[in-house]
Amino acid sequence: MLRFLTAGESHGPGLVAILEGLPAGISITEAIIREDLARRQAGYGRGGRMKIETDYAVIQSGVRHGRTMGSPIALLIENRDFSTGNGPDGKPWTHTMSKEAVEDEVTPIHRLRPGHADTPGISKYAAEDARDILERSSARESTARVAVGALCRAFLAEFGIEVHSHVTNIGGVEASTTDGREPIDWAAVEESPVRCADPVASKAMTEAIDAAREDGDSVGGIIEVIATGMPIGLGSHIQWDTKLSTKLIAAVGSLNAVKGVEFGTGFAQASLRGSKVHDVIKPTEEWERGADGSWARPWPRRSNNAGGLEGGMTTGEPLVVRAIVKPIATLRSPLPTVDTATGELTEAHYERSDVTFVPTCGVIGEAMVLITLAEAMLEKFGGDHVDETKRNHAAYLATVGPRFGA
C-alpha cells in the first residue's frame, strides 16, 4: 500500500512529508525533486513569495546511495520565509508563528476572507485568530505534495509512464484541449509563462492576468493533466472505492481551489449523442507490435473521448484529467466581510496574494495524478523491489491481448 502524509504551516519552520510503500531499487536524488519544486514556483501571475522561497526538499530517510530501500521516505522542506522574513505588524515570522506562548501579542485576524477556509474553520476549531486556520489551509502545503509526486514520477518512469500538464484556460481565454494522443510540445509548455503551448493563447492569458491585476482582481482557469504509457486495467469496476476514476477525482479535487474534475471530453458529453462520445475499438489488423513481436498496446481506440478510463479502469489510452480552478479569493480590492470581534461590516483581511495560480495548479495536479497512479500500479503489480514490480507488469502485459479461439 502506498500512503503519504504532509504536515506544516504556510509560515512555520517548514513542511514535512512521509511517503511509505515505494519499492526498493528506485533511483532518487534531491535534484529530481528540486526540478518539480522549481516548476511549481514558476508561473505568470504569482507574487512575492515565489521569489523569496527557493524550495528544496531534503531527504531524511528511505534512500541510500541514490536508491530507495523500501522504507518510508521522509522529506523536509524549509520555509525560508520563516527564519528571514517579517510577517504582520513588521514582526518576524518566528514571533508570529512561535510555538511557545509570546508576551508581545500578535494581532489576530478577525476580518474573515470569503472564499477561504476562515469562516468554517474558526467555527469548527473554536479559533480566536483565523491565522490558526489559514496557515494550514494555504496551498503552501501543496509543495510537499509536489515533492512526493516527484518520487512517484521516478517510480512510474520505470514503466514508461509519463505525466505532464498544461493550461487550457485562464480568465476565459481558451487554448485547445487534447485527447492525449496528439503530440504536445512539453518543452514549449515549460517555457510559456502560463504553461500553455499555444503562443497566441499564452499571450492573451498573460494580458487577462495583467488586466485583473490592474483592477485588484484575480482570475481562475482550467488545467489538463495527461498520463501516457498507461497499462490497460489499473483500478477496478468491483466497488465504488476501487475505481481509479473515484481515486483520481478525489486526488485532483483535493487540490486547493479546484471546483470540478472531468475526464476526456467530460462535461461536454452531456450535450452529445452516444455515437459521438464512445471510443470505438480498432480491429487487430490495425494494432501495432512492439520490438519483441508482442502487442505494443492492446485494444487501441479510434478516439479517446473517455480520457483513458472505462468502468473505473484504465483503457491503455492516455489518461486525460482536467480540473477547473476558481479565481484567487484574497483580493487586493478586498471583498466586504464581517469582523469576528465586532460583528460589523468591514473589508476582508489582505495578506500578500497572487493574481492567479492556474499555471502552478498544473504542476500540483500532476503530483496528485502521479501519486494516484503509483498507488494503482503497486496495487496491481505489487513488489518489494522495483524489479519484482517490473516482472509482474511484463508478465501481465503478455496476457492482455486477444484470446481468439482460446
Ligand X SMILES: Cc1cc2nc3c(=O)[nH]c(=O)nc-3n(C[C@H](O)[C@H](O)[C@H](O)COP(=O)(O)O)c2cc1C
357 contacts ligand X (rule: CB under 6 A): yes
Q: Measured between alpha carbons, how far is 47 from 293 in angstroms, rounded to an integer?
A: 53
Q: Which of 10, 79, 96, 142 binds ligand X (CB under 6 A)?
A: 142
State which residue, 358 or 386, has the beta carbon closest to ligand X. Answer: 358
Q: Are 336 and 292 in contact (CB under 8 A)?
A: no
Q: Which of 168, 169, 304, 353 binds ligand X (CB under 6 A)?
A: 353
Q: Report in angstroms how near the CB of residue 155 gets to ligand X at its nearest.
A: 24
Q: Which of 9, 354, 366, 375 binds ligand X (CB under 6 A)?
A: 354
State which residue, 73 or 163, has the beta carbon closest to ligand X. Answer: 163
- The C-alpha angle with vertex 41 and arms to 36 and 46, in degrees rounded to 5, equals 155
116 contacts ligand X (rule: CB under 6 A): yes
In DSSP notation, 129-169 reads STHHHHHHHSGGGHHHHHHHHHHHHHHHHTTT-EEEEEEEE
Q: Per 3-state DSSP, what percentage of the chain is helix, strand, and coil (rounded to 5)?
A: 35, 20, 45
337 contacts ligand X (rule: CB under 6 A): no
Q: Report in angstroms how near the CB of residue 163 gets to ligand X at its nearest.
A: 17
In DSSP notation, 262-288 reads EETTGGGGGGS-GGGTS-PBPPGGG--
State which residue, 95 or 326, has the beta carbon closest to ligand X. Answer: 326
170 contacts ligand X (rule: CB under 6 A): no
Q: Report in angstroms how near the CB of residue 251 gets to ligand X at its nearest.
A: 14
Q: Which of 177, 330, 337, 340 binds ligand X (CB under 6 A)?
A: 330
Q: Measured between alpha carbons, how far is 135 from 132 in angstroms, rounded to an integer?
A: 6
Q: Measured between alpha carbons, how far is 323 from 364 in angstroms, rounded to an integer?
A: 11
Q: Given the rule CB under 6 A, which of 124-132, 164-172, 288-296, 352-360 is the region that contacts ligand X?
A: 352-360
Q: Given the rule CB under 6 A, which of 110-118, 153-161, 237-245, 309-317 is the region that contacts ligand X?
A: 110-118
How many residues does the structure list for the chain? 406
212 contacts ligand X (rule: CB under 6 A): no
Query: Which of positions 121-140 make contact with ligand X (CB under 6 A)?
Result: 137-139
Q: Measured between alpha carbons, how far is 173 from 212 in angstroms, rounded to an integer?
A: 13
Could you tell me which residues are beta bridge partners of residue 4?
19
Q: Are 66 and 27 in contact (CB under 8 A)?
A: yes
Q: How many residues bind to ligand X according to rule CB under 6 A?
A: 20
DSSP 12: S
Q: Which of 76, 133, 227, 361 binds ligand X (CB under 6 A)?
A: 361
- The C-alpha angle with vertex 214 and arms to 209 and 217, in degrees rounded to 5, equals 70
117 contacts ligand X (rule: CB under 6 A): yes
Query: Which of positions 250-279 make contact with ligand X (CB under 6 A)?
Result: 255-257
Residues at the contact surface with ligand X, assessed by CB under 6 A:
115-117, 137-139, 142, 255-257, 326, 328-330, 353-354, 357, 360-361, 364
